[in-house]
Amino acid sequence: MVMDFKEGDIKIKRIQSASSINTFKQCPRKYFYSYVLELPTSDNIYQVRGNIAHSALEHFFSINTNHIDEHNYEKHLKVAMQELLVFHWRAEKERLDKLKLPEDKIQHYFEDTLHMLIAWVDLFCRKIRSAKKSFKEAFAYLTPIAEQHFISRKFGVQGFIDAIEIQDGKTRVMDYKTSSSSELTDEYLLQLSIYTLLYHEKYGKFPDEVGLYLLRHGEKTIKADEKLLKLAEKECLEIHRRTLSDDIEDYPLNPGPLCKWSTGQCDFYNICFKNKKINEF
């Protein structure tokens, strides 16, 4: 289909996301294998535990608060979060087993994930105290709209927003992150700009803020404004212009530290550097 941008008409071959755009920026060849040829990829512990943490956070707001003591809710919420983590960790046992990690490594990642989630509960409890409401009222007040899928046909981009928080007449669009980063990196900024675009297109207005729960470090937010919107439009325009081709030569290899590291390698490393055939993948 043809899209009307000020910079000129553009054809869109596939719906993009912050992840696909960042993949192209990291390595166009990796984008080609992932999104043009759609070659299979394998799980890693960071992806699996990230999915588990997201599931625990999403279901946290469904817990029954009727029997939680008004004066001892912090302990109850931490126990509930731990139980959610155990439940979702066990639900992903098959994926975890396929990683073939030693038991002590699996235990390490479980405990690390639990530490992050409990830190988030501490932050949530501080917000409950600041709300100056009863526990049940504050819990309901702080409960976000969870897991919303937004798609822009105009700009050919989509996103799954973890949490939309509406409090005191202000709206925040938030995403959960289990990575070690404590800053709003360029990759994260791109994601937040796309969320700004998606929200703005759907509702005809900006959210007040967009941001991240960096589960190791707390929360980071920035104002959602015209500057973020223009960044997203520019990046969407660029990715569509540069991914119309189905020719591998139009997707150059970009060797770097993300090709191979101490504990693993890119899914396509053997194709790029070990002469493995694509049809053997």
Enter the tokens of residue 4.
Answer: 């009307």
φ, ψ of residue 173 to 5 degrees: the values are: -105, 120
What sections of 132-163 are H helices per DSSP?
Answer: 135-142
Residue 37 lies in a domain: no
Contact, 173 vs 160, CB < 8 A?
no
Question: For the chain, first and last CA: distance in Å?
Answer: 31
DSSP bridge pairs for 172:
165, 209
36 in the Ramachandran plot: left (φ > 0), alpha (ψ -120 to 50) or beta?
Answer: alpha
| Alpha-carbon dihedral sign for residues 205, 141, 128, 80 | negative
Residue for token pair 């707390």 = 218
How many Å apart are CA 78 and CA 76, to the nearest integer? Answer: 5
In a domain, 34, yes or no: no
pLDDT tens profile 28-61: 999 999 999 999 999 899 999 999 999 999 999 9
- Please tell me the total count of domains within the chain: 1
Look up the domain containing 152 and give its range: 2-14+143-242
On whether residue 133 sits in a domain, the answer given is: no
| pTM to 2 decimal places | 0.90
134 and 173 Cβ atoms separated by less than 8 Å: no
Residue 256 CB neighbours (<10 A): 10
Instruction: Answer whether residue 149 is part of any domain.
Output: yes
For residue 189, give every residue at least 6 positions away whose Cβ sits within 8 Å of its Cβ, in sequence order, or none: 231
In a domain, 90, yes or no: no
Give domain status of residue 111, yes or no. Answer: no
Rounded Cα gap, residues 205 and 144, in angstroms: 19
Is residue 24 one of the residues assigned to a domain? no
Q: Which of 141, 166, 175, 139 is nearest to 60 (CA)?
A: 139
Residue-level pLDDT, tens digit, the chain, 281 residues: 334 444 345 688 999 999 999 999 999 999 999 999 999 999 899 999 999 999 999 999 999 999 898 889 999 999 999 999 999 999 999 999 999 999 999 999 999 999 999 999 999 999 999 998 999 999 999 999 999 999 998 999 999 999 999 998 999 999 999 998 888 999 999 999 999 999 999 999 999 999 999 999 999 999 999 999 999 999 999 999 999 999 999 999 999 999 988 778 999 999 999 877 776 65
In degrees, to the nearest 5, what angle opens at C-alpha 146 toward C-alphas 144 and 152?
120
What's the length of the chain?
A: 281
Residue 17 half-sphere exposure toward CB, CA atoms < 13 A: 11
Tokens of 72: 């001892």
Does residue 125 lie within any of the structural domains?
A: no
